[in-house]
Amino acid sequence: MIYIERDAQGKIITLRREYTPGMECKQAVDNEILEFLGQQKTDNAVLQILAATDVGIMRILEDLINLLISKNIIMSTEFPEEAQNKLQQRQQIRQKIGKETLIVDDII
């Protein structure tokens, strides 16, 4: 999610990842946000939108990898050793904080 601030005419003037009072919540891929970014003409504006969606994408990819491994479609040993270590670390952290259902479980 992205939080936006509007001017008196209702036009977007700021995008943020964190909420502050008075801001409106929007989906990252929204026509109005894309139009605002197109007007900015800066790489920083594009980086802001990408950064705001990174966490959600990482979680989806992690869940997808775990789902594919659990269905024996891929093996964890097929990943480079560094990637295996990172996936194991995240699994251990998730086990400590409580198991949540997979986001992509219903997709496949």
Does the pLDDT at position 107 exceed 60? Answer: no
Same-domain check for residues 59 and 108: yes
pLDDT of residue 80: 94
pLDDT of residue 104: 47
Same-domain check for residues 34 and 60: no
Same-domain check for residues 64 and 86: yes
Mean pLDDT, all residues of the chain: 79
Same-domain check for residues 32 and 68: no
CA atoms in the 13 A half-sphere facing the CB of 58: 9
Q: Structural domain tally of the chain?
A: 2
Asked if residue 48 is part of any domain, the answer here is no
Does the pLDDT at position 106 exceed 50? Answer: no
Same-domain check for residues 63 and 95: yes
pLDDT mean over 8-33? 82
Burial of 15 (0-12, 13-18, 19+ CB in 10 A): buried
| Chain centroid to CA 98 | 20
Residue range 48-98, pLDDT digits in tens: 677 767 777 888 898 899 899 999 999 999 999 999 999 999 888 878 777
Asked if residue 49 is part of any domain, the answer here is no
pLDDT of residue 16: 81
pLDDT of residue 84: 92
Q: Which positions ≥6 away from 46 have C-beta within 8 Å?
A: 37
> Domain residues for 36?
1-41
Same-domain check for residues 92 and 64: yes
Same-domain check for residues 98 and 72: yes
pLDDT of residue 45: 63
Same-domain check for residues 107 and 65: yes
